[in-house]
Structure formats: C-alpha cells, structure tokens
Structure 1
Amino acid sequence: MRDGCRFWRPAVHGLWLCLLAGLGGCGPAFLEEPEAWARREAPIRIPNSLSTQALVFNALSTNKIANQLLGTNALAALFSPPGHPTILNQLQDPAARQFMGYLVSCALANGQNLTWVDPSTGGTQTWQGKLGICPAWKTQAPTQACLQQVSSCLLARNNAFGLRVELSLRGEHPTTPSVFGLETVTPPSEYVPLSPQRLASFEPCTGTPVGAARDCGWRGDAVGACQPDTRVVLGAGGADPDTCTGAALGTSSGARMVLRVCEGIHGCDHGSALPWLGESAGSCGTVAPAVAFTCPAGGHFSVMTAPYTHGQLGTATVQTAPSSVQYRLPEASVFRVREGAFYGTVFDPEALAAEVFVRDGRVILPEQPVKGSVYRRMYSCYDSNWSDGVANATHRVCALPSTSSNCAAQVTGVCVNPAYRAYPSSMCATDDGSQVAGDGDYEKCRDHHSTTQWNYPVTSYIHSACDVLGDYGKPELCTRPRQTPKLP
C-alpha cells in the first residue's frame, strides 16, 4: 500500500525543511532543547505548520477522557453535529484537528469523510478517508484490531521534520487483504520533493494551452530504473531524437501526445533545475515524441504524459532503450529500503505518560519533556540492515532523540535477526507475512518487557535510506552495511 505521506513533526520548528516560519526558529538543533518544553499555554497553535508535536501532544489522543471516547465510539457519533461536548472542547486545539486528519485518512476509505462543525463559528472542517484500514469505524465502535492497525499507521507516518516522504506501508489486514496490496505499476509522486506543495503540472488547466512546456494537465505514467551516467532514450512513437535512426519507441493513439522526464520518483515542472531531465512534443521532424537523457546518479527516473492540446483525449504507450533499462516498476521495486515496524496501540488512556488539556480555550501542554514514549503501549522495531538500528529508530520516533524523550513509541530492538530468529533476539516472528507473499512485512511482534504478541503491525518501506532522517545531517543514521547482526 503506497502512501504519499506528509509526516507529523513532533519537534518545535518550521514545517517542511523550515520553509515555513515556526514558533521559535528553525533547525534540527532546536530539537535538542529541553528548555523549549517549559509549561506553555496558548490560545492558538499554528494549524498547518506541524510545529507542536501533533502526534504526541494533542488534546484528543493525549487526553485520557478524549482517548477513551475515541477508542469506544463510532467517529460520526463523536464528531458529526451535535457531537460529544468533550470532543468539541478538545477540538479547540489545532493539533487535535490535525491528528484527526491523519486518523481519518488511515481508518476510512476513499470516498468516506468525516465533517466537524465548529460550534463557536459555524465553520466546517472535513477530513478525507484514504487507506481504508477500518472504514466501519465511521458508524460503529472500533475493534481492537482496528485500533491497533490504525495506531501502527499513525506511527509509520511520523517523523521529526514533518517532511512529505513517499512510503510503502505493508501488513496483514484481518478481513481485507487488498488493503495492503502493492501497486503493479508505480506512478510518479505528484508533489514537490520534501514538500506539501502539489506540482503545478498535475493541476487542471485553465483554457486550452498547448505544447510540452505547459505546467498543467499532465498525468504520471510510471517510474523507471537505469544505470547511472548511461544514455537512455524513451518514446511514445518517436525515434532517438539525437540520431533519428533505429526503430521508433512506443506508440501514441488518439490525440497528439507529449512527454516529460524527471529525475527520481517525483514528477516535475517545465525546466526546473532539478529534477527535470527533458521533454518532447515531437522528434526527428515528426509529432511523435521521444526524449534522450543521461541516467541520473540515483538510478531512477519518472515519466509524465499529456495531450499536446489540453482537453483532447489520447494515450501514450512509453517504450525505453537500451534493454537494460527497466520501466513501469512495481511498488516493491521502487520502495526497497525497509525501515522497520510499528505496533501496539495509541488508544489506551491508562498508558499515557502525559496529558494535554483545553481550558477556557487555551491549550495546556506538559511542563517538562517526557522521558521515553508518551504512549506506553506503542512500539517500534528496526530492520536488521541498519548500521545503528537503535539510533535510526530513536530519531525516527522521538522529538528529542539525544535524551530519548517526547517519543511516539518505545524502541524494542531488531525486528528479525537473521542469525537468531527467536524472541528476544528478534522482536517479530517473521519478516514476510503469509497474506501477501514476498512483500516483506514483519508480523507477530512483541514488546521488550512482556510476552504480549501484537498481531497488527505495519511495516514501512522508503525509496532511499536517508529519505526520512537525512535532514539531521548525520549519515550514520541511515547507513546500511548489510552485516549480519550479532546476538545481543
């Protein structure tokens, strides 16, 4: 299951590589300042900056009464008018509303939504379903399986910098295996890398613009792989544009078509310095498009297609050369770096290490940093191929990783140790559950201080090893020497 995820930022600085102003400045160093966690009261927390630890400190999941209500009631009964008075009060916290956006997108399916009406203003906010882990939660009280797998989904979508990073989420659904099915062809991401901004090229056009240089009305075709620094040619009916020799590559049908090629797994706009690699409205004196480019250092490229004249209907079937180039890659081939697994439950009010309150319209946050996990029954294990799995996982789930504080989960250990697969050397019973063979999901995972087995973990895969933690500026956090781990 591919998820173009915007991660929560559990840290206090501006969103998305500090492109937006935060409350107290920017930069990873601010993550390490416990003084920033002195008691704070604020009538407003910036709702779209993710600068106030929306996962670990919000007035819904981090409040015992609200947490209990969430875990035992249908969502519509709590949020739809007239709504539950406690929930309405807690939703004065912008971070609580943000938390609900992620909860609904994990739990409910495409086409489902949940609308909340602000009783003080009459304004509405609608949260959209996406992944469909337990769509029945909208109208029925959730099962424990639902709560655990939604908790795992929420944790998988968390990281310290609030970056939008493309993820592949894998697991075993108790009733619907297709929830965690993998795409057979991976389209390019439609967002600016590491940004919440959708590329202009994927937005609808106004009027009827023409040509390959326009930045609207495009669609993503697929992702390909190639040998870095080698020459690649691809076409949708056109021949090699540099030599005009050899057979035409691919075909076009219907309206005249255009092509654009971008570096990596993201789409791009016209002429952007990176990741734009080239585009074509025709080649070799014909209207059939083809593009030649040098394979980028990362070894992946993305292709976009569009009709030459916006509004017309056509199809481009892209073919690549030489034969060593792989195109139309499946999800499993694009997202090959296994991070680890997330499991447990956020929805246990007695297992909260801190609480957030809303009093007289003001949000009351904890006075001091919380040592360890705010959610005492939420866990994370790490893949055995990380050089320093403990450090990687700690930086993945903790806002203050140097002191292992303000964490969203407890780091338990290596998910599966290839040399010693029994617990406690391995926290999970298998590294490939049987429901979707070959997808590499950890299953039947345990915590590190009891014999409880958690049956609904979510395993996360990323495209490149430093996609999530690269902004710490510590390469050792995302190196993978592929050494067999030793017995602890």
Structure 2
Amino acid sequence: METRVSAAGAHRLGLVLLLMAVSACGPTDAAPGPEPHARRSHALKDLQTSNGLSLNGLSLNGLSLNGLSLNGLSLNGLSTARFDTWFQTDPELHAAVMEYVVRCAAPAGVSRTYTSPSTGRTWSWMGALGLAPDWSNGAPATLAEQRIVSACLAAHVDKYALHISISVQGLSATGVAIPTTDWELMVYSDQEACFFGNLFNTEGVYAANDGRPLNERESTARACALSSKRDAEAQPCAPLMRVEHDCVRFCTLDASRRFYVSCTYNGITYPAITTRLLHSEIYTCGDGICQMTEQCGTGESYDNCGRDCGPCP
C-alpha cells in the first residue's frame, strides 16, 4: 500500500506490540538464478509481487516522515482503548506506520492483527525482519529492541513517500543477523547509510552516509538516507537527523565488514541498521532523464539541471 502524506514536525514515537502470533516460520531464501541479470530480475519481481514483504533482508521503504512523528501509542499494547483512540484519529496513516513496525519487529511468516473495539474493523500486518522477538511476542520492549526497531523504522523513511527497493542489514536485538545472500549484495551494490537512535524516548533518531556523499550532480529519492554534504547540513528530513560525519567515523563493522553492528553518538552506543541501494536509484544530471529529484535550470547540478530538465520557463 502506497502512502502519500506530508511531513510533520518532530515529536517522539512511543511504540509497543502486544499481539498474538498467528503462525511462525523462518525466512525463506530466494534461490539464485544462473546469471546475475536473472538473479536481479527475479529479486525485483519478488519484491513487486509479494505485498512489499522483505525477502532475506530485502525491504521496500515508504514510511512517510510524519510516521516517525506520532505519539500516543500505549506501552500496554495494541489491545487498549488508548491505542484504539490513537489509531482511529488517522487509520490510513497509522495503519501504514504499523505495517513497518510489525515488518521490523516480527519475523517473516507471522502476522499481527488488531481489531478496533470501536468500529469492529480488523487490520493485519506481516512480519519480515524479526528484529524484536520478545516484544513482538507480547513482552515489554527491551531497550535493545526499542533501539533496533527505531533504527529499522528510520531506514524505511522516504522523503517522497515512494516505495524504493533497498537491502536491509543488521542484527536483531538478540544478535541474530538478517539473512543475506551473495546475489543480494551483488544486486544492491551501492552502500547507502546507517541508522540508529531511539524513538521511544527523547534520544532521537539519526542517519549518516555509508561511504562517499553524493556529488553536486547526483541525487536520489532516498534523500533521507544518502545525501550530499550540503543536503545533510540542511536537515530536510526531521525528525530524522543527519549527523556530521559518515558512518565509519563512529560505527563498528561486523566481523565480515558487511554492515555496522553499532554506532556511538552523543555518548550512547546504539545497535545499527545498514542499508544498500540499487545503483539505478542514484540519478546523475546529464544522463538525459529529468528525474523527480532534479530541477530545471542552466547548469549541471541536480537542482539546476538544464541538460536533463531544460531551462526554467
């Protein structure tokens, strides 16, 4: 489901799941095809035809910015009158938020269901990444679960409310790695960003580039994740805050050096989520296509791209 909602001001988000598991099974490895092109086509087809569920760490982003700005969720779970009151104030938006909360927290193959006592309507959301096993099974969220789910939600934020395919890497709150295949790393070839923080309290949520920032000719719809230094300083994605350095400056890689297991910021060490991007999602002024992130003009920078978008009227 595609959500198109505007960004709101910075508020903190308090989230807890207290729901019954319908079924449980482990994540299913997608079988690699014989050729790289076939593997990529198969992966993207799966993503497009499986309601956006993650496959071996692949995920679709689309959580709108004000999805990170909501408060009012009860710490007693989804069966309370307080949750129902919050949910019914904007069911479409809040259902989109819960889609990503459950996707991050619960494992693949299980669903979480909420029935509104005030309306009788039922919503179901599918798990995918399994980052918070205790919380998603009904226990109070641990500090580690609060932080890793916060990082996962931040990784799914999209400035333009689009669904863009990304690869999600990291460890669950219990230290289990999100399954990843070699073909996934090959197809999602561009390192993108690291995410960390805590939306359950006042610590905030943060992102940094994983590798080089974009140059002045480059842009991407994933602007809250990968950006130029100039755009990072502008902070266009509040309440998600850009930090002043790249991930490598304050984050620790796992043993395989594939993703960051933690990032230390403001004196706090957080578990981290790392994302990778399809190279085609990075746009360049001069490639002959006027992308949604590019603007008309007379120059060659993405926001003054006469070569792709022509002169401004």
Instruction: Judge same fold: TM > 0.5, yes or no.
Output: yes
Offset of 1:403 from its aligned partner?
Answer: 5.6
1:191 maps to which residue?
A: none
- Among 188, 194, 199, the alignment partner of 1:346 is 199
| Identity level (%) | 21
1:181 maps to which residue?
A: 179
Verify: 1:5 aligned to 2:60, yes or no. yes
1:408 maps to which residue?
A: 239
Q: Judging changes above 3 Å, is the alpha-carbon distance between structure 1 residues 438 and 344 closer, same or farther for their aligned structure 2 residues?
A: same
* Residues matched between the structures, number: 229
* Separation in 2, partners of 1:139, 1:148: 17
- Among 171, 174, 186, the alignment partner of 1:333 is 186
SS in 2 for 1:162: coil
| Cα-to-partner distance string for 1:127-159 (whole Å, 9 max, x where unaligned) | 111111123213111111111111111111111
SS in 1 for 2:281: coil
SS in 2 for 1:180: coil
| Cα-to-partner distance string for 1:32-67 (whole Å, 9 max, x where unaligned) | xxxxxxxxxxxxxxxxxxxxx3x234xxxx22x52x
Verify: 1:120 aligned to 2:87, yes or no. no
1:427 maps to which residue?
A: 250
Name the amino acid aligned to 2:100: Y
Name the amino acid aligned to 1:385: R
Contact persistence 2:209–2:225 (CA under 8 A) = no
2:146 maps to which residue?
A: 147
| Cα-to-partner distance string for 1:393-434 (whole Å, 9 max, x where unaligned) | 993169x989635513211123345xxxxxxxx132x3x312
* Separation in 2, partners of 1:453, 1:465: 33
Name the amino acid aligned to 1:127: W
Matching of residues 357-396 of structure 1 within 5 Å: 377-388=204-215, 395-396=223-224
SS in 2 for 1:472: coil
Contact persistence 1:379–1:411 (CA under 8 A) = yes
* Separation in 1, partners of 2:105, 2:99: 10
Contact persistence 2:109–2:126 (CA under 8 A) = yes
1:89 maps to which residue?
A: 85
* Separation in 1, partners of 2:292, 2:233: 15
Name the amino acid aligned to 1:144: L
| Cα-to-partner distance string for 1:239-282 (whole Å, 9 max, x where unaligned) | xxxxxxxxxxxxxxxxxxxxxxxxxxxxxxxxxxxxxxxxxxxx
Name the amino acid aligned to 2:269: Q
Contact persistence 1:110–1:132 (CA under 8 A) = yes
Matching of residues 37-436 of structure 1 within 5 Å: 53=66, 55-57=67-69, 62-63=70-71, 65-66=72-73, 69-70=74-75, 73=76, 78-79=77-78, 83-92=79-88, 93-94=90-91, 95-137=93-135, 138-177=137-176, 179-184=177-182, 330-348=183-201, 351=202, 377-388=204-215, 395-396=223-224, 404=235, 407-416=238-247, 426-428=249-251, 430=252, 432-434=253-255
Name the amino acid aligned to 2:243: T
Offset of 1:345 from its aligned partner?
Answer: 0.8
* Separation in 2, partners of 1:401, 1:416: 13
* Separation in 1, partners of 2:233, 2:214: 18
SS in 2 for 1:91: helix
Name the amino acid aligned to 2:107: A
Offset of 1:180 from its aligned partner?
Answer: 1.6
SS in 1 for 2:243: strand
Structure 1 segments of 4 or more deviating over 4 A? 391-394, 400-403, 467-470, 474-478
TM-score, structure 2 as length reference: 0.64
Name the amino acid aligned to 1:452: I
Offset of 1:119 from its aligned partner?
Answer: 2.2
Contact persistence 2:101–2:153 (CA under 8 A) = yes
Q: Judging changes above 3 Å, is the alpha-carbon distance between structure 1 residues 405 and 467 closer, same or farther for their aligned structure 2 residues?
A: closer
Q: Judging changes above 3 Å, is the alpha-carbon distance between structure 1 residues 157 and 406 closer, same or farther for their aligned structure 2 residues?
A: closer
- Among 276, 286, 293, the alignment partner of 1:472 is 293
Offset of 1:172 from its aligned partner?
Answer: 2.8
Offset of 1:89 from its aligned partner?
Answer: 0.3
Offset of 1:466 from its aligned partner?
Answer: 3.0
Verify: 1:444 aligned to 2:267, yes or no. no
Offset of 1:341 from its aligned partner?
Answer: 0.3
Which is helix-richer, 1 or 2?
Answer: 2
* Separation in 2, partners of 1:101, 1:144: 21
Name the amino acid aligned to 1:473: E
